[in-house]
Structure 1
């Protein structure tokens, strides 16, 4: 099973994700709550990014989730398929996310089953 990196500023939501992933046997690479912390950690993990799925909330402090996603793609364009943008923000659309080449977009609130299905789709596409 892949590793997941959670970028989410709402503590209750990140804790919910953590419980879900632990229950499903998905290893958590890390949890950060701001864009700058996410970018810093991504820089540290440069050599291991191909093994990680990124679950990114778009509305996070210091920079948007889309900016974090752009940085991941700058490091390796092949990682586009391993990014999930999740947001309750009505100002961002699925088309904007797809324009970056990111196929996975979840509008909050979404079901945990929908999230797990998206991760499963990512894993299957890597095989």
Structure 2
């Protein structure tokens, strides 16, 4: 046990010093050992290994897929902690763009909890079109959301969300990509830099495959909705955003 802790500390040091290849290999060794013991630590080590590859500009899909599969395996074995395991799997799947699989895992997580908290979170809608703001606000109200605030430009969005964060609130941000002052990708980056686990949902007419959308998703955006969208598509995006609070 002490040797594993020493190895973990050393791997973190390598990672801190941008020696990411060495750190990644050490995290993978630790993960392999913990998987044999069905320990949740294995998932953490795989996620850290993925982060090491990401810092090198490499694809992190394999490590996160491996972590998701491991958590799903644990969810079926460990009934007491199935909710947590499914949530961890969902988070890993979300980070590699497997949104349908992430939602399935999230739905399984809800089945394995006796009580789901009725959490009222502020929702900030950012769009320069009054018609879009009205439409989104109407959809949100139909979905049972009550704490809704709207702004029409990027600077106002950054100011409002920063204020909510300082007040220890946990806003969900519905963010249009085409704003009149600061573009949505810049706003998303600033918000995620200030609070990496904030839930940002992109709203845009762009395809998901366009460079700026892919780049913004890479910053850590929780979900994507393409205009025009239905109330069900918005609901699915809000469900995906809740996954950003996991882990």
TM-score w.r.t. length of structure 2: 0.46
Structure 1 or 2: more strand by fraction: 1
Q: Which residue of the partner structure matches residue 122 of structure 1? A: 241
SS state of the match for residue 9, structure 1?
coil
Quick check: 1:39–1:68 contact (8 Å CA) kept in 2? Answer: yes
Structure 1 or 2: more helix by fraction: 2
Q: Structure 2 regions of 5+ residues with no counterpart?
A: 1-119
Q: Which residue of the partner structure matches residue 221 of structure 2? A: 102
Quick check: 1:7–1:57 contact (8 Å CA) kept in 2? Answer: yes
Given the alignment of the two structures, is residue 42 of structure 1 paired with residue 148 of structure 2, yes or no?
Answer: no
Cα distance change, pair 43–51 in 1 and its aligned pair in 2 (3 A): closer
- RMSD, matched Cα: 2.1
* CA deviation after TM superposition for structure 1 residue 96, in Å: 1.8
Structure with larger RCO (C-alpha < 8 A, sep 6+) = 1
Deviates more, 1:25-34 or 1:82-91: 82-91
* CA deviation after TM superposition for structure 1 residue 23, in Å: 2.2
1:108 and 1:42 map into 2 onto residues whose CA distance is 23
Q: Which residue of the partner structure matches residue 203 of structure 2? A: 86
Cα distance change, pair 103–61 in 1 and its aligned pair in 2 (3 A): same
Q: Which structure has the larger Rg? A: 2
Quick check: 1:36–1:63 contact (8 Å CA) kept in 2? Answer: yes
Quick check: 1:14–1:31 contact (8 Å CA) kept in 2? Answer: yes
Deviates more, 1:110-119 or 1:93-102: 93-102
TM-score w.r.t. length of structure 1: 0.84
* CA deviation after TM superposition for structure 1 residue 68, in Å: 1.1
Quick check: 1:29–1:52 contact (8 Å CA) kept in 2? Answer: no
* CA deviation after TM superposition for structure 1 residue 94, in Å: 4.1
Q: Which residue of the partner structure matches residue 83 of structure 2? A: none
Q: Which residue of the partner structure matches residue 68 of structure 1? A: 187
Deviates more, 1:44-53 or 1:106-115: 44-53
1:103 and 1:95 map into 2 onto residues whose CA distance is 12
2:187 and 2:244 map into 1 onto residues whose CA distance is 22
Cα distance change, pair 29–18 in 1 and its aligned pair in 2 (3 A): closer
1:46 and 1:126 map into 2 onto residues whose CA distance is 14
SS state of the match for residue 45, structure 1?
helix
Q: Structure 1 regions of 5+ residues with no counterpart?
A: none
